[in-house]
């Protein structure tokens, strides 16, 4: 195996990065990793034919939806089940063959000579897993490192991992009925391009920026899907401690699944808790009508083996992040959905959550109410826009001098205490905006207000970076300046590929001087980090004191 897509990847003291042994740091086996490489290869073949077919007017919505969904299964902490990865691959091959047949028929009908597509587009999936694994050697992402150099490999991976994050958001949007043939076409173009094993660094860099731009559109689609389906989030206080009674915990990003669970568990004496990235759900009007949605349990994903083990009910993982449920022995009461998978864990394929509900009823539930501890969420696009005039007024009056966006994915490295320390250290005349699961490092701290405006504003999930961008644009408009001239500092924590594509989006919008941490992605070489620093002022976090001084002086 070779996998370097997450922040947790193995790094040697000599600076080499990447999981390349029998198991990755996420727990993914070498076998699953290799099969995922093979799936990615097949999905590139699908996209190669999708691009060719589109030129002849063939657009297949089913395939357009499937391709990013299957790609999402290879994201960090999503699917660890070899059999399901093979199933995804077989379906990808079938779609590729179907597109090829229709493309060749269209060529014949229109008197067009079929394009000479690269040999990789014709790969035939073997019957036996052993042969697949032997073939997988050819699909290793670092295979050509000696020939093309580590900078080219690094740029390819920046694009591939960024596109993977964008594919995940496409799938989240699709679940809410938001699809766009043009967006799908661009996805296929990028995927097909990466399938050609490009070596032109300029073209790869441009591809990375274009993926960032595409993701801006996708985040807008997702925002539309969420707000049209569930209403605009409103600032909402959420209890973060146990409530007495039977319990179901819903984790991941998929609000649609949460709604189904709330509907199906209604009147059964079960309390529903959100976990991790599901916390912002409490702020959507559509969920406020469910009194049995009682709070949020636990913190960020990396603590789940301890927190889920202690949760006295059932757990549903609607999307990433899942980690080994056998640690903590809760494998029998956790359920996966959609593209999520873990060998031996019950997968809910249709919209019937009765298995998870029954499992919750069999568990003891919480025996006591804990004294409430609250966090506030729901400062998404509309709430922020509604507050913008008051915020602008306070800025003009000199009461708000700086904005910090501190957010992104959490992880278990000790260096991540930086983000807590930074949130605590920002001056009292500054606002702290946050999003994604990185917030759990500081979202129960007391930040207070500035003349009625809360100093701590939880925007929502990672994809709600879209809302943060809207606020920044509104402020820039009000102050008649560019976003980079605003007293706004972005400090992002990253772990997986959604964070990568959000970063690409910000860079593609021209936003500069972003700080990222706790470490640079393992696939970015020092040269590439240097280029990003030169072009965008992108830099790694150092220490809170120095960084804060620099950010406030900017």
Stretch 263-292 residues interacting with other proteins (CB under 8 A):
none
Q: Is 135 in the site for other proteins (CB under 8 A)?
A: yes
Binding segment for other proteins (CB under 8 A), chosen from 54-62, 166-174, 277-285, 319-327, is 319-327
> Which residues are CB-neighbours of 542 under 8 A, at least 6 positions away?
none
Shortest Cβ 355–other proteins spacing (Å): 23
Q: Given the complex with other proteins, which of 77 and 271 has the nearer CB atom?
A: 77
* Region binding other proteins by CB under 8 A among candidate stretches 263-271, 327-335, 352-360, 422-430: 327-335
If one asks whether residue 415 binds other proteins (CB under 8 A), the answer comes out as no
CA–CA separation, 538 and 512 (whole Å): 7
Instruction: For residue 23, state whether it binds other proteins (rule: CB under 8 A).
Output: yes
Residue 450, beta-bridge partner list: 453
Q: Least distance (Å) from other proteins to the CB of residue 412? A: 9
Contact flag: residue 519 with other proteins (CB under 8 A): no
CA distance 399 to 429: 6
> Site mask, other proteins, residues 43-82, x = CB under 8 A?
----------------------------------------
Calculated CA dihedral for residues 535, 150, 28, 161, nearest 10 degrees: 30
Q: How far apart are CA 280 and CA 361, in angstroms?
A: 26
Cβ(161)–Cβ(167) below 8 Å: no
- Residues β-bridged to residue 460: 435
Q: How far apart are CA 69 and CA 90, in angstroms?
A: 14
Residue number, 13 or 57, with CB nearest to other proteins: 13
CA-CA distances (angstroms) from residue 465 to 346, 499, 503, 518? 33, 10, 10, 19
- Pick from 101, 237, 268, 306 the residue near other proteins by CB under 8 A: 306
**198 or 328: CB nearest other proteins:** 328
Calpha distance 149→154 (Å, rounded): 9
Q: Which residues contact 162 (CB under 8 A, 6 or more apart)?
A: 208, 211, 212, 215, 497, 500, 501, 504
Q: Which CB sits closer to other proteins, 132 or 380?
A: 132
Close Cβ partners of 3 (under 8 Å, ≥ 6 residues apart): 9, 18, 19, 20, 24, 28, 33, 141
Query: Which segments within 313-455 are labelled E, that is strand?
Result: 314-317, 334-337, 346-348, 374-377, 402-408, 430-435, 449-450, 453-454
DSSP secondary structure of 485-533: GSSEEEEEE--SHHHHHHHHHHHHTT----EEESS--TTS-HHHHHHHH
479 lines the binding site for other proteins (CB under 8 A): no
Residue 33 in contact with other proteins, rule: CB under 8 A: yes
Tokens (6 digits) for 473 = 């644009």
Q: Identify the residue among 97, 264, 305, 382 touching other proteins (CB under 8 A).
A: 305
34 touches other proteins (CB under 8 A): yes
Q: For residue 327, state whether it binds other proteins (rule: CB under 8 A).
A: yes
CA–CA distance, 6 with 346 (Å, rounded to integer): 26
Radius of gyration, CA atoms only, the chain: 23
Residue 9 or 296: the one with the smaller Cβ distance to other proteins is 9
Eight-class DSSP state of 317: E
148 is an interface residue for other proteins by CB under 8 A = no
Binding marks (x or -) toward other proteins, 419..458, rule CB under 8 A?
----------------------------------------
With CB under 8 A as the rule, give the number of residues binding other proteins: 35
From 56, 58, 87, 123, residue interacting with other proteins (rule: CB under 8 A): 123
How is residue 4 written in tokens? 């370097």
Can residue 136 be called a binding residue for other proteins (CB under 8 A)?
yes
x-or-dash string of contact with other proteins, 204-233, rule CB under 8 A: ------------------------------
Q: Is 140 in the site for other proteins (CB under 8 A)?
A: yes
Q: Does 15 bind other proteins (CB under 8 A)?
A: no
* Nearer to other proteins (CB atom), residue 105 or residue 310: 310
Indicate whether 25 belongs to the interface with other proteins (CB under 8 A). yes
Identity of the residue, 35 or 272, whose beta carbon is nearer to other proteins in the bound complex: 35
Q: Does 199 bind other proteins (CB under 8 A)?
A: no
Cβ distance to other proteins smaller for residue 271 or 304: 304
3-state per-residue secondary structure call for 10-37: CECCCCCECECCCECCCCCEHHHHHHHH
Stretch touching other proteins by CB under 8 A, among 79-87, 88-96, 220-228, 322-330: 322-330
Query: What are the residues facing 375 on neighbouring strands?
Result: 238
Which range in 45-53, 130-138, 350-358, 495-503 contacts other proteins by CB under 8 A? Answer: 130-138
User: ∠ at Cα 456 (533, 451), nearest 5°?
Assistant: 120
Question: Could you tell me the smallest distance in angstroms from the CB atom of residue 144 to other proteins?
Answer: 8
Q: Minimum distance between the CB of residue 25 and other proteins, rounded to whole angstroms?
A: 5
Q: Which of 200, 266, 324, 352 binds other proteins (CB under 8 A)?
A: 324
Among 21, 386, 417, 477, binds other proteins (CB under 8 A): 21
Task: Find the shortest distance in angstroms from Cβ 51 to other proteins.
Answer: 22
Cα(123)–Cα(16) distance, rounded to whole angstroms?
31
- Using CB under 8 A, which of the segments 9-17, 213-221, 425-433, 450-458 binds other proteins? 9-17
Q: Which is nearer to other proteins, 70 or 323 (CB)?
A: 323
Angle between helix axes 381-396 and 465-478 (nearest 10 degrees) is: 30
Instruction: Report the residue count for the chain.
Output: 554
Q: Which helix (H) or strand (E) holds 456?
A: strand 456-460
- Give the residues lining the site for other proteins (CB under 8 A): 1-2, 10-14, 19-27, 30, 33-34, 119, 123, 135-138, 140, 143, 305-306, 323-324, 326-329
């Amino acid at each position: 195996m070779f996998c370097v897509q997450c922040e947790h990847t193995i790094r040697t003291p000599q600076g080499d990065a990447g999981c390349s042994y029998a198991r990755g740091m996420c727990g993914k086996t070498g076998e699953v990793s290799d099969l995922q490489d093979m799936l990615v290869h097949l999905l590139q073949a699908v996209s190669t034919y999708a691009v060719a077919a589109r030129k002849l007017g063939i657009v297949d919505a089913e395939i357009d939806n499937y391709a990013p969904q299957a790609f999402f299964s290879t994201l960090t902490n999503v699917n660890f089940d070899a059999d399901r990865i093979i199933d995804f691959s077989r379906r990808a091959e079938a779609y590729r063959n179907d597109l090829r047949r229709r493309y060749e028929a269209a060529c014949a009908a229109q008197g067009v000579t079929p394009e000479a597509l690269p040999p990789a587009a014709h790969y035939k999936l073997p019957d036996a897993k052993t042969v697949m694994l032997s073939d997988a050697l050819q699909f290793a992402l670092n295979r050509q490192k000696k020939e093309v150099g580590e900078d080219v490999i690094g740029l390819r991976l920046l694009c591939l991992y960024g596109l993977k994050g964008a594919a995940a958001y496409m799938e989240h949007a699709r679940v809410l009925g938001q699809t766009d043939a043009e967006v799908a076409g661009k996805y296929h173009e990028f995927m097909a391009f990466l399938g050609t094993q490009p070596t032109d660094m300029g073209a790869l860099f441009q591809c990375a920026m274009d993926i960032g731009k595409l993701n801006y559109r996708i985040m807008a689609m997702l925002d539309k899907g969420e707000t049209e389906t569930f209403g605009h989030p409103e600032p909402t206080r959420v209890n973060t401690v146990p409530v007495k009674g039977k319990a179901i915990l819903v984790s991941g990003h998929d609000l649609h699944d949460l709604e189904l669970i709330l509907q199906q568990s209604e009147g059964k004496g079960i309390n529903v808790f959100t976990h991790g990235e599901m916390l912002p759900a409490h702020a959507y009007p559509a969920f406020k009508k469910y009194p049995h949605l009682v709070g949020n349990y636990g913190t960020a994903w990396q603590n789940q083996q301890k927190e889920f083990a202690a949760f006295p009910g059932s757990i549903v993982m609607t999307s990433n992040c899942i980690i080994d449920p056998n640690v903590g022995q809760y494998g029998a009461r956790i359920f996966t959905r959609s593209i999520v998978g873990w060998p031996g864990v019950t997968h809910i394929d249709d919209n019937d959550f009765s298995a998870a509900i029954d499992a919750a009823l069999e568990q003891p539930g919480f025996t006591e109410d804990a004294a409430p501890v609250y966090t506030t969420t729901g400062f998404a696009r509309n709430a922020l826009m509604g507050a913008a005039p008051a915020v602008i007024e306070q800025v003009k009056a000199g009461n708000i001098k700086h904005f910090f966006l501190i957010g992104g994915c959490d992880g278990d490295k000790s260096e991540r205490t930086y983000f807590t320390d930074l949130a605590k250290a920002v001056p009292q005349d500054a606002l702290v905006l946050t999003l994604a699961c990185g917030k759990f490092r500081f979202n129960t701290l007391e930040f207070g207000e500035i003349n009625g405006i809360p100093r701590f504003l939880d925007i929502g999930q990672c994809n709600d970076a879209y809302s943060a961008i809207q606020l920044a644009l509104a402020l820039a408009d009000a102050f008649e300046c560019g976003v980079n001239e605003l007293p706004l500092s972005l400090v992002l924590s990253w772990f997986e590929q959604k964070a990568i594509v959000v970063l690409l989006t910000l860079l593609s919008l021209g936003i500069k001087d972003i700080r990222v941490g706790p470490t640079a992605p393992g696939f970015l070489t020092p040269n590439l980090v240097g280029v990003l620093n030169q072009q965008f002022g992108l830099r790694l976090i150092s220490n809170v004191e120095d960084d804060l001084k620099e950010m406030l002086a900017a």
